[in-house]
């Protein structure tokens, strides 16, 4: 499956959700995750993300590896609902889009 990784945190642009044919995306307070059970590896969402947060799990580098389990866990959390319509990004997205290390800010 494809996975959402660190650049999404504190930005959450949500362009990705509109193109997913399987409605795989779930939404938390400052991050989105992909349900690996629904993802058909079409890769349509990848180019939609302005901060390149979406990658193929099979090609995840060392820093991205923990996001494989994280996407799986988030997709299973009943508090994280499906999201299929784009919405406004988080208020401080301009500030956070260039910050790479922000995993400690992830809200579950
Ligand atoms: Fe959805 Fe395709 Fe992205 Fe998987 S790769 S999350 S099926 S758009
Ligand atoms: Fe996140 Fe990029 Fe989607 S910032 S919400 S993965 S468009």
What is the C-alpha separation between 69 and 76, in angstroms, rounded? 11
Q: Tell me, what's the pLDDT at 8?
A: 98
> Ligand 1: does its nearest atom lie under 6 Å from the Cβ of 17?
no
- Name the residue among 55, 40, 42, 43 with its Cα closest to residue 8: 55
What average pLDDT does the structure give for the chain?
A: 98
Ligand nearest to the CA of 46: 1
Question: What element of type H or E holds 15?
Answer: helix 15-19
**Full set of structural domains in the chain with CATH:** 2-85 (3.30.70.20)
pLDDT of residue 53: 98
**pLDDT tens per residue across span 43-74:** 999 999 999 999 999 999 999 999 999 999 99
- Ligand 1 contacts CB of residue 2 (under 6 A): yes
Ligand 1 atom closest to Cα of residue 40: 7
Segments of the chain with pLDDT less than 70: none
Tell me: ipTM over 0.90. yes
pLDDT given at position 72? 98
Q: What is the pLDDT of residue 6?
A: 98
Give the pLDDT confidence score for residue 12 in this predicted structure.
Answer: 98
pTM above the 0.95 mark?
yes
């Amino acid at each position: 499956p494809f996975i959402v990784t660190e650049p999404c945190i504190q930005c959450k642009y949500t362009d990705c959700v509109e193109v997913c044919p399987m409605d795989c995306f779930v939404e938390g307070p400052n991050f989105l995750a992909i349900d690996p059970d629904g993802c058909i590896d079409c890769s349509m969402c990848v180019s939609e993300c302005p901060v390149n947060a979406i990658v193929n799990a099979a090609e995840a580098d060392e820093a991205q590896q923990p996001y494989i389990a994280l996407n799986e866990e988030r997709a299973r959390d009943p508090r994280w609902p499906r999201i299929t319509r784009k919405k406004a990004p988080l208020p401080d997205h301009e500030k956070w889009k260039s910050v790479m290390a922000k995993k400690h800010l992830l809200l579950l």
